[in-house]
Structure 1
Amino acid sequence: MARAATTSDAFNAIAEPQRREILVLLRSGELAVSELAHDLGMSQPQASKHLRVLREVGLVQVRGSGKQRLYDLDAGGLRPVHEWLGGFEQFWSESFDRLDDYVQVLKQTRGERQSDDNDR
């Protein structure tokens, strides 16, 4: 039985650490497959397989330049991931706000204790 594709969307594609590293490298601009393979310490066929997955889910674009295939980041494909993470951003902001409030109460309490100790 053939294995079902596990890279049908951006979430699955970026679950693979080497594909995330490719996206990080492409943030600085367009790169050839050979450059990506070298930077990642993998063979060109391995890099090409990862790039194919990223291209199929819309995270990279490719263009030919002579004999080279140059890849560039298409960050618009990360929009669903960004939107999903946005809900967690509110959670963390609220958590940090509560933590900050708690720290302020501790500082105030500690300051009052030190003031009481000094008055004795």
Structure 2
Amino acid sequence: MREIAGGLGWKRRGHVWLVQIPADGGKQDLPGPRAVLRELGAERGAAVVVDTSAVRDANGRLLDWLAGLARDTRLCVVAPSLTVRQRLAGTAGPSSMRVTGSLGEALDVLGPESTLGIEARLPG
């Protein structure tokens, strides 16, 4: 996994960008969603999976960041933590933001093209 600003990890497989939020995600300054897309080389409308597995409690800053990213991408958030899923469900984020409990579910949401080798390399 490569790292970009804000301690975000990322990798690309097929047409999907996977962004991993560190355990302290949102407590430190995360780069703006469009800055993340620029740094990744992704275009608006890209398929993005954000893995929040390391995050135990999503704060408002992280929720706002995810909502901003959802406006510019086809976003699916992997949130195995019930607390994080509940916080995401309680936000008025864009309807384009999907939330799943596992990476496999996220890949299903984004379609069959998104399964190009990711499952074998990432926990899910």
Q: Select the structure that is richer in helix.
A: 1
TM class, shorter-chain normalised?
under 0.3
Report which of the two structures shows the higher radius of gyration computed on alpha carbons. 1
Question: Normalising by the residue count of structure 1, what TM-score does the alignment of the two structures yield?
Answer: 0.25
